[in-house]
Amino acid sequence: MLAAPGAGQGEPDYFFHWLRDAAVVVRALLVLDRQGRLPAAARARFVEAVGFDGALQRLDGEEAVAAEAWPPALLPHLQGYLRPREELAAVRGAAVAGEVRFHPDGTVDLLRWSRPQDDGPALRALRTLDMLAGDVLKGDRERRRAEDLLKADLCYCLARLAAPSYDPWEEELGHHFYTRLVQHAALARAAVWAAAGGHPRLAKRFAAGAASLATALAGFWSQPDGFYRSRLPGPGLSLAKSLDSIVLLGVLHAGLSDGPFSVLDPRVAATVERLEGFFADYLPVNAGRAPADGVVLGRYAGDTYYDGGAFLPCCFGLAEFHYRRAATGGGDARGGLARGDAVLAFVRRFLTEDGALPEQLDRVTGGPRSTRDLSWSHAAFVTAAAARAASRHR
């Protein structure tokens, strides 16, 4: 599952299988399948996803190094980014899940990157639980493979409960709300799954891990600021990134139905309100618009990646948040529908007729920036549309 189909002139190279992006995209396909809108032929992608990720688990960096003429022949501009041989050789067993991304052919990424990132295995576990709960894996063999992959990802989550990792923006090593929340959601759901399957020991371990993370997540709330911080303070971490749209995406991707850290959490609503107010003033493209008019969201204050424009998954995520609250009784249903529609209507002004969904919109003009067509942007639109449909039928 490619993060983007290719890199045009001036675009970043996203021609990789990111665990995070792939899990988000496959979960969006599952949403389409539940709606009866996924073509029958596309259902084979679910079995293929389990098979591909299962094969990744068996990778051995030592074998990859031994098989290459070292150092391998790379494009000249990539030579300086080659990972140390010792680092690659250590990629085996449980360490594979912390690899973040892989080449499209299922081989180990040879380039240095921000590792480890611990949200990928948790998101993949949530994806696999969605598959097992549905009817997309028909045969016993397919389900066993999925369960083996699920258990490996959950064990990785348990092993990394208190460990620092890089944030989903791949910039800072620390303790991050998004990562902790998707780990919590995966373990909490897995505890129910294990108990139903007659595995009380596993259920107890998963439930204990989820409870530990719930306690840790409560510490991300800042009473003086009035929002959930995206990261806990620590050496080398930017305080300017405390208010970050990744908190909103974490709530959506975790998918908790109610209680703390769900769309019904008043503290989550307060955080989203702060994000809307901040970006209404911060991004010139929002000039003259109040949050109720529909605004676009960037990532955080001071973002410089491609000038730090509006990040399309965050924009669609904002619409989805309002739709979900409307659908679950978290506020005025009609008002929530209108707020979500206002966001989508504003975003639509800047999109091209060919259906491409970029990673960013220019902070001033709203024109496409960064990669022209991001898989995650498409997935975020799909889940926002599904949330809208649910809110209309409440």
118-167 pLDDT, tens digit per residue, is 999 999 999 999 999 998 998 999 999 999 999 999 999 999 999 999 99
* Residue 221 φ/ψ, nearest 5 degrees: -75, 130
- The CA distance from 306 to 283, in Å, is 14
Share of the chain above pLDDT 90, in %: 85
Mean pLDDT of 337-353: 97
- Region 104-115: mean pLDDT is 93
For the chain, the structural domain boundaries read: 1-168, 219-394
Which pLDDT band holds residue 70 (cuts at 50, 70, 90)?
low
* Predicted confidence (pLDDT) at residue 383 exceeds the cutoff of 70: yes
Distances (CA, A) of 370 to 13, 358, 361, 380, 385: 10, 7, 8, 17, 24
Across 354-368, average pLDDT: 97
Which residue type, as a one-letter code, is found at position 224? P
Confidence (pLDDT) at 135: 86
Asked whether the predicted pLDDT for residue 197 surpasses 80, the reply is: yes
DSSP code at position 173: E
Q: Rounded to whole angstroms, how far apart are CA atoms 167 and 172? A: 6
pLDDT band at 341 (very low <50, low <70, confident <90, very high): very high
Give the pLDDT mean for 98-102.
94
pLDDT band at 299 (very low <50, low <70, confident <90, very high): very high
pLDDT > 90? residue 331? no
Output the pTM of the full model. 0.96
Q: Judge contact between 1 and 21, C-beta under 8 A.
A: yes
Residue 289 confidence (pLDDT):
97
**164 neighbors 173 (Cβ within 8 angstroms):** yes
Using 50, 70 and 90 to split pLDDT, how confident is the model at 8?
Answer: confident
Helix extents (H) in the chain:
19-34, 44-57, 61-67, 85-89, 119-133, 140-159, 177-196, 200-218, 246-254, 266-282, 312-327, 333-348, 375-392
- CA distances to 29, 32, 121, 228 from 133, rounded to whole Å, are 14, 15, 18, 31
Residue 49 has pLDDT above 70, yes or no: yes
Q: Provide φ and ψ at 310, rounded to 5°.
A: -75, 130
Please report the pLDDT score of residue 235 as a whole number: 85
Going by C-alpha positions, the residue among 314, 173, 330 that lies closest to residue 253 is 314
Cβ-Cβ contacts under 8 Å for 329 (sequence gap 6 or more) = 264, 394
Give the per-residue pLDDT at 186: 98
Choose which CATH entry (1.50.10.10, 3.40.50.970, 3.40.630.30, 3.40.50.720) describes domain 219-394.
Answer: 1.50.10.10
Mean pLDDT of 207-211: 98
Please give the pLDDT value at position 249: 98
* Residue 368 phi, psi (nearest 5): -65, 135
* Higher-pLDDT residue of 166, 329: 166
